[in-house]
Structure 1
Amino acid sequence: MRDPADKGTLDIVSGGMRIGYARVSTVDQNLELQHDALARAGCVQVYEEKASGKSKAGRPELANMMRALRKGDTLIVWRLDRLGRSLVDLVQIVDELAGRGVAFESLSEKIDTSTAQGRMFFGFIAAMAQYQRDVISENTLAGLKAARARGRNGGRPPALDDAAIKEIRVLMKSPDISMASIAKRYGVSKPTLYNSLKRAEKKEAEKPAPARKRTSANSSRSRSNTR
């Protein structure tokens, strides 16, 4: 533990450290701008990442930093989009930090969750993220409802259409053509090929049988019965 009178030495155990996180999306971009800004903000350590940020798995330094942060620390980024790959992702990360007692600062947007004003502003961002999720959910449900109204149940379209199924059935009659070669020809796997054939058979079996045409004999019999 550090001496309470010592304001210059940070305690890695009890927290209170200012930790920076810098990220660029490709290896060609330079981290110096972010690094310099974080150094001016008093960061004693900066985790640097050169990754696309599409998933946490592709950001090992972010994972290392999250493990290293302690209660009382402050995570600092140059800009909000350097931390989260999306608004929802950003809110999830900052919520996790808050739950662990770690403050968050974004230098460009001047957000500091250690202050009431900063928490209020980030609360607005969280509300926008929730709104974004709700809109996506509502649009998805509306799309499924419209699809059902048109006789579709949603999901992926079939890999093979009716015309392809007819061609495949013709090819299957040849002893020289294997199912593997047919699947390769249509750009699908063998399981997909078999599943498509089963779906086609089920679809055909569910079709109502066509009404039989009345023959002339039946017509004559009907007329004689009415006399």
Structure 2
Amino acid sequence: MASIGYARVSTREQNPDGQTDLLSAAGCEKVFVEHASGVLAKRPVLDDALDYLRAGDTLVVTKLDRLGRSVRNLKEVAEGLQARGIGLKALSQGIDTTTPGGRLFFHMLAAIAEFEHDLIVERTQDGLAAARARGRKGGGRFKMTATKARQARAMYDEKTYTVQQIAETFGVSRGTIYRHLAQDARSL
């Protein structure tokens, strides 16, 4: 029954010492340190830590956000640990899933975060629907007028300019030029 620590910093420039010090002070026998953004799907050091853990062990993190990319991902990790008989401790939040109260607290926090996310999505959709009802469309502003798009098409058809040169002429990306060229082709 070992306590195993996992620390994560988002960039190479960030220093994990604060986390590793807390994990060592909490009695972690081994600490895995990852230098990766939390949004990345692949975090090899976390995978190594999860592989290292055995039934009866406890994974210790300083904060829950160091462990999961999202609430859903965090729940998946916690449920995977629980299924293997491994506890989870988050030091700053006082969560310890090795106790019934800790499991309850963890699931309450996860449910509240998921509820909050769903509310944000719902409000966003309501706002977009209200804007559409008023005749507004979402998305960015048009970068090229119809006249500029015709000029870009003419330059492209001359075959003396590259798409990059055309894009630089109009101060837009190559993707914008390609989109307008594709729209022209569809309208013919």
Give the TM bin, normalised by the shorter chain.
Answer: 0.7 to 0.9
Kept in 2: contact 1:26–1:52 (CA 8 A): yes
Kept in 2: contact 1:88–1:129 (CA 8 A): no
Match of 2:35 in 1: 50
How far residue 152 of structure 1 moved from its aligned partner, in angstroms, is 5.5
Match of 1:213 in 2: none
Q: Helix, strand or coil for the counterpart of 1:98?
A: helix
Match of 2:173 in 1: 187
Pair 1:100-2:84 in alignment: yes
Number of residue pairs the alignment of both structures matches: 184
Q: Which amino acid aligns with 1:41?
A: A
Cα RMSD after superposing both structures: 3.1
Match of 2:117 in 1: 133
How far residue 135 of structure 1 moved from its aligned partner, in angstroms, is 1.7
Q: TM-score, normalised by structure 2?
A: 0.76
Q: Which amino acid aligns with 1:102?
A: I
Pair 1:60-2:79 in alignment: no
Kept in 2: contact 1:56–1:62 (CA 8 A): no
Pair 1:196-2:173 in alignment: no
Ranked by relative contact order (alpha carbons within 8 Å, sequence separation 6 or more), the top structure is 2
Q: Helix, strand or coil for the counterpart of 2:32?
A: strand
Q: Which amino acid aligns with 2:54?
A: R
Residues of 1 paired with 2:62 and 2:14: CA distance?
A: 15
1:172-220 per-residue CA deviation (whole Å, 9 max, x = no partner) reads 57x3644634355442246423223246x38xxxxxxxxxxxxxxxxxx
Pair 1:37-2:22 in alignment: yes
Question: Which entry has the higher C-alpha Rg, 1 or 2?
Answer: 1
Kept in 2: contact 1:91–1:125 (CA 8 A): no
Pair 1:121-2:110 in alignment: no
Kept in 2: contact 1:21–1:76 (CA 8 A): yes
Kept in 2: contact 1:159–1:192 (CA 8 A): no
Q: Which amino acid aligns with 2:45?
A: E
- Quick one: structure 1 residues 42 and 172, their matched pair in 2 at CA, closer, same or farther if it must change by over 3 Å? closer
Q: Identity over the aligned pairs, expressed in percent? A: 40
What are the within-5 Å matches in structure 2 for residues 1-227 of structure 1? 16-57=1-42, 59-151=43-135, 154=138, 160-171=144-155, 175=158, 177-178=160-161, 180=163, 181-183=165-167, 185=169, 186-189=172-175, 191-198=178-185, 201=187
How far residue 109 of structure 1 moved from its aligned partner, in angstroms, is 1.8
Residues of 2 paired with 1:98 and 1:112: CA distance?
A: 12
Q: TM-score, normalised by structure 1?
A: 0.65
Q: Helix, strand or coil for the counterpart of 2:174?
A: coil
Residues of 2 paired with 1:156 and 1:100: CA distance?
A: 47
Unmatched tracts of structure 1, length 5 or more: 1-15, 203-227
Deviates more, 1:121-130 or 1:176-185: 176-185
1:78-103 per-residue CA deviation (whole Å, 9 max, x = no partner) reads 22232234444433422332233321
Residues of 2 paired with 1:94 and 1:155: CA distance?
A: 37
1:14-35 per-residue CA deviation (whole Å, 9 max, x = no partner) reads xx33211012233344333322
Match of 1:215 in 2: none
- Quick one: structure 1 residues 195 and 65, their matched pair in 2 at CA, closer, same or farther if it must change by over 3 Å? same
